Amino acid sequence: MIRKILIANRGEIACRIIRTCREMGIATVAVYADADAHALYVEMADEAAHIGSSVPGESYLNRAKIIAAARRTGADAVHPGYGFLAENADFAQAVIDAGLIFIGPSPSAIAAMGKKRAAKEMLKGIPVVPGYMGDDQSDERLIAESERIGYPIMVKASAGGGGKGMRQVDTPEDMPAALEAARREALQAFGDGTLILERVVVNPRHVEVQIFGDQLGNIISLGERECTIQRRHQKIIEETPSTALTPELRAQMCMAAVSIGKQLDYYNAGTVEFLVDEDRNFYFMEMNTRLQVEHPITEEATGVDLVRWQIMVAEGHALPEMDVYPAGHAIEVRIYAEDPANEFLPVIGTILRWREPDDVRVDSGVRSGDNLSVYYDPMLAKIIAYGEHREGAIRRLDYALSQLQLLGMRNNIAFLRRVLLHPDHLAGDISTTFIAQHPELLQEDTTPDPFGLIAAALSKIEGKTQWRNNMNSPVRHTFAASGTEYVVALTAAGKDIYAAQVGDQAYTVQLWSVHDGDITLSLDGHRQTVTALPGPDESWWVHTRSGSAMYRWVNPLPEAGSSREAAGSLHAPMPGQVRAVLVTAGQQVAEGDVLLILEAMKMEHRIKAPYAGEVAAIHYAVGDSVPAEAVLLEIK
């Protein structure tokens, strides 16, 4: 019987596991690195153990430290969550060798599926995408095999997933650079630079099947999940059931997934991932031997707590005898601290306000006041909505996203709403290239909401007494948004009544209440509650019914001597490490040329030339750590 579980993970998945353990009467131990000392999941757990610095290799990826923490705290079992060591067969074996229960599949199953190439070679009767998985990893052989398979080619890291070490190559000329980049990224992420090649399936759907097995030989399918909407080869919207499958195709794919589980003598949670082409052919991609990020939609559609099942199976219990066929429709979005308009570049900072919507499921691991670290994935939460049909589930999810507040940093909430409501998405006409095919989704409506501007201006005034003493004198505030300045003029016209002028538009404003950044006001009788909070550097973050925005207050008396940096400097968008410098001082470059590759927040970021010119200076070398906003290179 398991009485105490150490959670070898962090963030929202750790919070999720803790909640289930509480319901089961199981104590929890959280492990944490320096950056997570005050994290929500650490405070939620019954106990916590410090395991090192914020660098993952010195904490969350350090097997010895995690097992030592389990022993020190008297844990019976270790739950790996997902990511980090969740699919590390050596870690699973080390947990077992330490006399602890590993809440996951057997080390042999993890090892078998951990290498894409070996996995595809060992499975019998499972269709796979044509490609190359040979031992000869020379560039010459890989380029020759690409010619044989035919372009476009997908280059993949054999040892991992999550979009790391993955490149689509459309022409032979691009293959050498793609091989170099994919191999380098695979080594960094997985310690293994082995690559495989696959023919690109045109306009594919990404559909996965959730399987579950016990240690008595029983294995079942819990239906599929559609994971087709992706960016950077990573999923951002998932739903069940898939709009791509007929009942016959669904049965075939679920049967294939269960067959894979049986070939592996698999137990605990596992996910078999497939590509489905335009002709409804399906191909095995890989198997994730762990709980998936998107597991909540299966839980919502089946009524099953998969974490509870994981613990029960780890204790040796048989799977419950119950009907777990999915019903209704569930859909989930992943909330990221990132900038969709800037190639989905992750951002860091302090969360000024995190406010979750009501009446839908929210799996999150953050709260107001949290600082986001550069060391970890920028995913903050998942919002999950369930409905009797797909249209109803999407409607509930969109409404929930309109209520969700993430103030203090750029995020993908508005982008997700645009994707959800796009006509093609509503019609189920999607593929893994959906975002690339619809660049208009990246274009934000930069027109400020007058509710937000007026709320920010009201918040800028210290107390209402000032209004009563200036009945006939308008107070003006200027805010900048998306490169445009907006003047808000407010004149007191009575008790809690103001005349407002925003550009050419005049409003009668009534202020109803102000509390903790929430301002209830009406414009010409139209009433809303708006959130307006001050941020650093004279910024104001507002949330209205139309979404969230940041306005920067323009100081009418700028400091003397202020100046801009010289044009041509290229800055680090966030703290990171230089992985490659692709130019030399004095070299001529064209606009858009990649100059330097920076690794930050588990992803590579390409620093490109903003215009043609000559490289005047390079300030960092490969391996150097750089702070945010550091000048990396200069071009004249």
Could you list the active site residues?
A: 290
CA distance 312 to 103: 9
DSSP 424-469: HHHTT---TTHHHH-GGGG----PPPHHHHHHHHHHHS--SHHHHT
Q: How many CB atoms lie within 10 A of CB 140?
A: 8
The span from the CA of 470 to the CA of 493, in Å, is 10
The amino acid sitting at 293 is V
For residues 65 and 94, what is the distance between their CA atoms, to the nearest angstrom? 12
Q: How many helices and strands, by DSSP H and E, does the chain display? A: 17, 39
CB burial class (10 A; 0-12, 13-18, 19+) of residue 469? exposed
Asked if 45 contacts 29 with a C-beta cutoff of 8 angstroms, the reply is: yes
CA–CA separation, 227 vs 208, rounded Å? 7
Q: Single out the residue of 295, 288, 292 nearest to residue 384, CA to CA.
A: 295
Tokens at 551, concatenated:
């306005």
> What are the DSSP E strand ranges found in 244-341?
268-276, 282-288, 329-336, 338-339
How far apart CA 498 and CA 501 sit, in angstroms, is 10
- Is residue 483 packed enough to be buried (19+ CB in 10 Å), middle (13-18) or exposed (0-12)? exposed
Which DSSP letter does residue 313 get?
H
Alpha-carbon gap, residue 410 to 388, rounded angstroms: 33
State the amino acid at position 84 in one-letter form: F
Interatomic CA distance for residues 379 and 346, integer angstroms: 9
DSSP string, 508-563: EEEEEEEETTEEEEEETTEEEEEEEEE-STTEEEEEETTEEEEEEE--SSPPTT--
- In three-state form (DSSP H/G/I as H, E/B as E, the rest C), the secondary structure along 30-66 is EEEEHHHCCCHHHHHCCEEEEEECCCHHHCCCCHHHH
CA atoms within 13 A on the CB side of 618: 20
Q: Are 289 and 109 a contacting pair, CB within 8 Å?
A: yes
**How far apart are alpha carbons 442 and 448 in whole angstroms?**
17
Q: Contact at 8 Å (CB) between 32 and 48?
A: yes
Q: Which residues of 60-86 are buried (b: 16+ CB within 10 A; e: fewer)?
A: bbbbebbbebbeebebbbbbbbbbbbb
- For residue 578, give the nearest of 622, 613, 534, 547 by alpha carbon: 622
Angle formed by the axes of helices 139-149 and 175-190, nearest 10°: 120
* Backbone CA torsion sign across 196, 270, 280, 227: negative
Name the pairing type of β-strands 349-350 and 371-372.
antiparallel
Beta bridge partners of 588: 614
